[in-house]
Amino acid sequence: VQLQASGGGLVQPGGSLRLSCATSGFSLDHFSLGWFRQAPGKEREGVSCIHSSDGSTYYEDSVKGRFTIARDNFGRTVWLEMNSLQPDDTAVYYCATDMEKRCTSSGGSNYLRPNNMDYWGKGTQVTVSS
């Protein structure tokens, strides 16, 4: 199983970025995938997750309405579209998968527990600054 996050960069407040998580070694048809972030001096936190076979998505309150998670059709990539970015969104962003639990629209916070993740990709830095 491999995951690789990419697409980070420097953006001004109010700007947008699109992160990608390329996956291999497992099927997104059967397993959920989550996005996490870790800001300097803070713990890693869940951001959003998806279970594409039934269309379930979940967003933490801090990003709801600004971020969108999606999968390319029948492919191996999950995107995180981030709009209206603010300095508080500055962090290293990671994608990860838990091979046992499932992301649901109402219970995504149960999925987005960093300690439960089985596989992690290398992170991509997102910096929001003027």
Q: At residue 83, does pLDDT exceed 90?
A: yes
Of 114 and 107, the one with more pLDDT: 114
| Separation CA 77–CA 95 (nearest Å) | 11
Percent of the chain with pLDDT over 90: 91
Question: 1-10 as b/e, with b when 16 or more CB fall inside 10 Å?
Answer: eebebbbbee
**pLDDT tens digit string along 39-74?**
999 999 999 999 988 889 999 999 999 999 999 877
**pLDDT tens digit string along 11-21?**
999 999 999 99
| Separation CA 83–CA 60 (nearest Å) | 15
Q: At residue 111, does pLDDT exceed 90?
A: yes
- How sure is the predictor about 75, in pLDDT bands with cuts at 50, 70 and 90? confident
Task: List beta partners, residue 19.
Answer: 80
